[in-house]
DNA sequence: ATTAGCAGTCATGCCGGTAGAGTGCTAAAA
DNA sequence: TTTTAGCACTCTACCGGCATGACTGCTAAT
């Protein structure tokens, strides 16, 4: 409950105002309808009349934490209100031990496969945060060559299979003008493997000299496969929970629903978190200026993996009226878990390079 | 334009009735509003008054090809009407040469990678048929072993990488109780490679005897990776065009929109086409009994690939008010193209087995 | 500072009336 | 027998008015 350093100077609220704001936010998150002074009076036990609460609500509105859909409606939190709630009022976001165990258990039951874990992570996030969940594959940062295989296919086609440090496998077909025999290919692969073993692919360029035209091409393909920074390949994003979150009342409006679907399909906002340090959880409320069209949505995002080695992003996307506590807690926990898995599977392996 | 053998005995329509039905279907597909007798009179040049057309429309309605939203509205095709249209009236569904060339050109510009092609196919289908498009990866039917690699990772983990005939690469981590050295692993891999080269994985079980516990496990993982028949893995489906098709007026209704989104995410209906022969295009109109919830949707589906070797499914999903002509033409052409690509990339390679 | 009480505001839902679109029917024409 | 003109009929969509109910905002008393 300590003050979060991110907070810009914000007006100080009296304890009662804080309590009222918190109650309103939580009530609105639960009911999705504007909350009235009477409702707060009945819910919270702050022994004052509804009129007093009305006065406080007016103050909170003047300060920009609440709004009115219309004169005779209850209050609804503004983005600023949500932000204050998330940063100051939210309290404990750790998931209860029982829930953590359940999640951990599910991961241990899955096969030792990144794709399975990502799918599982998306499913857990979606369920727990009542939102749409996205998980990107971890991207290797400076991939080292583990093993290269060149296989002759038809006369004109060569299949290149490369295993990077960490067990990431990529393949690519290469067309050649002149047929190359399998034994020649094996020799070339052996050359790459002996010279380049455990080296960063980029540095291969200096280590390998006197290359034939074909070997040049192999090298280029390797570098291309290693970087693949072009765009996060669409198929490497795992998703879940879209249909469920579309049931939320904010998405009765077709436009809102469609922008959500678009954002879910083309999640440009994931770049937001791509440069953040691993381990922190970011909360973006109402698009927060940068994604105008996502004004009705919030996101809770985190990076996971091992810094400088392999990292991915994950998070949830839902209405601003999102259960932030659960969302933050789950995103943090799942991100940590995925980081552990990445490090178990990928990193000890890289550490053995130093032997 | 020859009669389609699939057709069940359907009432014969007079040429004029056929023409009117066709005009109504096309008009409704274009405008999305019930079409009136006057409209038909003005569009089609069938030199009769609107009253006559009204009479014919009444007959067509009595026969079950058309309906009424309400008394004073125009006519809308029923599912039966669409079906008649698709089977008897649709005429030429071949794409114009120019369009084919454009599509073919795009494929030749892409990298030699299945994933790129599938993504491209989905994009083309979505655009051309104004619908949501789905493309599944081709699934190997009796995969033959091409190359096996076992790499030691941490002491307890072994990375298995297998290349199947056709260049399909799969990987899987295996946990072992006792550490195994890389040289032992290489020997085991060599054994599998020499014995099993170009053999169907299933037959490995009989060829390889006297296996250690670990070798047994490798074999089992191989078989599992080869079959992977459990469920078409979700991540192996490429999609496009959802947001666009959601703009169609039938999806103003939230329920309709949501069922479409659900179907798009969990396309169980693709099983429908999984047993059909490659090369035929199937049209499912209004869910056609089997998918009750998809009553507002139609699908145009096809299987592609090389029968008995590697086949996948592709198709489009849209409102029943779908441009069937374009959809069928495009699905057929793209399926054929993908079949060619599969056969170029995968099959000549398998044929070389017989050398 | 708090509160009771009341006037004021606005969304929602209901009713009735109108306009417009398109059909169904009938009786005459071809 | 088929086609057509014409007209009555039906139903939706739209609009304005009106009552209802939920809250707020304000004021004056505590």
Q: Percent of chain B, pLDDT > 90?
A: 65
The 10s digit of each residue's pLDDT in B331-347 is 999 999 999 999 888 76
What pLDDT score was predicted for residue A113? 85
**CB-to-strand C contacts below 7 angstroms:** A 47-49, 51-52, 55, 69-73; B 34-39, 50-51, 54, 57-58, 61, 68, 71-75
Q: How far is CA B120 from CA A234, A327, B194, B218, in A?
A: 12, 35, 38, 35
B101 and B120 assigned to the same domain: yes
- Report the gap between the CA of B227 and the closest CA in chain A (Å): 16
B323 and B205 assigned to the same domain: no
The 10s digit of each residue's pLDDT in B21-42 is 999 999 999 999 999 999 999 9
Asked if residue B160 has pLDDT above 70, the reply is: yes
A116 and A246 assigned to the same domain: yes
Of B149, B154, B172, the CB nearest to A348: B154
Asked if residue B351 has pLDDT above 80, the reply is: no
Tell me which chain A residues have a C-beta less than 8 angstroms from the C-beta of B115: 233, 235
Domains contained in chain B, number: 3
B185 and B313 assigned to the same domain: no
User: Alpha-carbon distance A156 to B99, whole Å?
Assistant: 29
Q: How far is CA A199 from CA A76, A146, A194, A205, in A?
A: 57, 8, 10, 11
Residue ranges for chain A with pLDDT beneath 50: 1-5, 7, 230, 350-355
Question: Residue B106 burial by CB count (10 A; 0-12/13-18/19+): exposed, middle or buried?
Answer: middle
What pLDDT score was predicted for residue A5? 46
Tell me which chain A residues have a C-beta less than 8 angstroms from the C-beta of B171: 163, 167, 169
Whether B161 and chain A come into contact, CB under 8 Å, resolves to: yes
A49 and A153 assigned to the same domain: no
B331 and B246 assigned to the same domain: yes
Q: Quick check: is B10 in a domain?
A: no
Q: Percent of chain B, pLDDT > 70?
A: 92
Overall average pLDDT of the B229-258 stretch: 84
Tell me which chain A residues have a C-beta less than 8 angstroms from the C-beta of B172: 111-113
What tokens does A185 get?
A: 């290919």
Q: How far is the CA of A72 from the C1' of D20 (A)?
A: 14
A103 and A126 assigned to the same domain: yes
Overall average pLDDT of the B189-198 stretch: 91
| Mode of pairing for the β-strands spanning A310-319 and A297-306 | antiparallel
Tell me which chain A residues have a C-beta less than 8 angstroms from the C-beta of B112: 157, 172-175
CATH assignment at residue B39: 1.10.10.10
Overall average pLDDT of the B224-246 stretch: 80
Q: Quick check: is A272 in a domain?
A: yes
CATH assignment at residue B218: 3.30.390.60
Q: Which residues constitute the domain of residue A277?
A: 97-137+234-354
Q: Which helix (H) or strand (E) holds B316?
A: strand B310-319
What pLDDT score was predicted for residue B337? 97
- Report the gap between the CA of B232 and the closest CA in chain A (Å): 13
pLDDT band at B309 (very low <50, low <70, confident <90, very high): confident
A129 and A264 assigned to the same domain: yes
Of A113, A171, A247, the CB nearest to B172: A113
Q: Where are the beta strands (DSSP E) in A114-270?
A: 132-136, 139-140, 145-152, 157-164, 168-175, 237-240
From the CB of residue B91, how many other CB atoms can be counted at a distance below 10 Å? 9
User: Alpha-carbon distance B326 to B316, whole Å?
Assistant: 11
What pLDDT score was predicted for residue B310? 87
**Residues 52-111 of chain A sitting with CB below 7 angstroms of strand D:** 54, 57-58, 61, 68, 71-75
| DSSP string for residues in B236-287 | GEEEE-HHHHTTSGGGSSHHHHHHHHHHHHS-TTHHHHHTSPTT-EEEEEGG
The 10s digit of each residue's pLDDT in A45-95 is 898 999 999 999 999 999 999 999 999 999 999 999 999 999 999 988 899
User: Alpha-carbon distance B265 to A119, whole Å?
Assistant: 13
Are the Cβ atoms of A258 and B252 closer than 8 angstroms? no
B153 and B221 assigned to the same domain: yes
B117 and B252 assigned to the same domain: yes
The 10s digit of each residue's pLDDT in B94-146 is 999 999 999 999 999 998 888 889 999 999 999 999 999 999 998 888 888 99
């Amino acid at each position: 409950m300590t003050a979060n350093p991110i907070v810009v100077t914000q007006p100080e609220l009296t304890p009662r105002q804080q309590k009222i704001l918190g109650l309103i936010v939580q009530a609105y998150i639960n009911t999705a309808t504007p909350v009235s002074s009477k409702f707060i009076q009945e819910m919270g036990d702050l022994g004052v009349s509804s009129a007093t609460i009305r006065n406080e609500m007016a103050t909170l509105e003047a300060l920009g934490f609440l709004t009115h859909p219309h004169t005779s409606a209850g209050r609804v939190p503004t983005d600023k209100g949500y932000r204050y709630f998330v940063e100051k009022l939210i309290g404990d976001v750790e998931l209860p031990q029982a829930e953590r165990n359940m999640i951990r258990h599910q991961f241990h039951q899955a096969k030792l496969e990144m794709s399975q874990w990502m799918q599982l992570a998306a499913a857990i996030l979606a369920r727990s945060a009542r939102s749409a969940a996205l998980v990107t594959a971890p991207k290797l940062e400076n991939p080292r060559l583990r093993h290269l295989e060149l296989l002759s296919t038809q006369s004109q086609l060569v299949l290149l299979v490369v295993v990077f440090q960490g067990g990431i496998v990529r393949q690519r077909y290469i067309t050649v003008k002149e047929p190359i025999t399998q034994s020649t290919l094996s020799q070339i692969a052996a050359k790459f493997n002996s010279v380049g073993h455990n080296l960063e692919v980029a540095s291969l360029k200096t280590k390998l000299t006197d290359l034939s035209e074909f070997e040049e091409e192999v090298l280029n393909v390797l570098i291309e496969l290693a970087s693949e920074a072009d765009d996060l390949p669409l198929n490497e994003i795992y998703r879940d929970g879209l249909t469920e979150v579309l049931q939320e009342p904010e998405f009765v409006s077709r436009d809102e629903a469609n922008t959500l679907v678009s954002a879910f399909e083309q999640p440009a906002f994931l770049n937001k978190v791509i440069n953040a340090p691993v381990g922190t959880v970011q909360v973006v409320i109402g698009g927060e200026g940068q994604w105008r069209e996502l004004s009705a949505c919030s996101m809770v995002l985190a990076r996971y993996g091992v810094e400088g080695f392999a990292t991915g992003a994950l998070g949830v996307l839902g209405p601003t009226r999102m259960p932030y506590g659960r969302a933050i807690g789950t995103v943090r926990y799942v991100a940590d878990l995925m980081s552990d898995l990445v490090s178990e599977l990928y990193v000890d392996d890289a550490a053995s390079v130093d032997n």
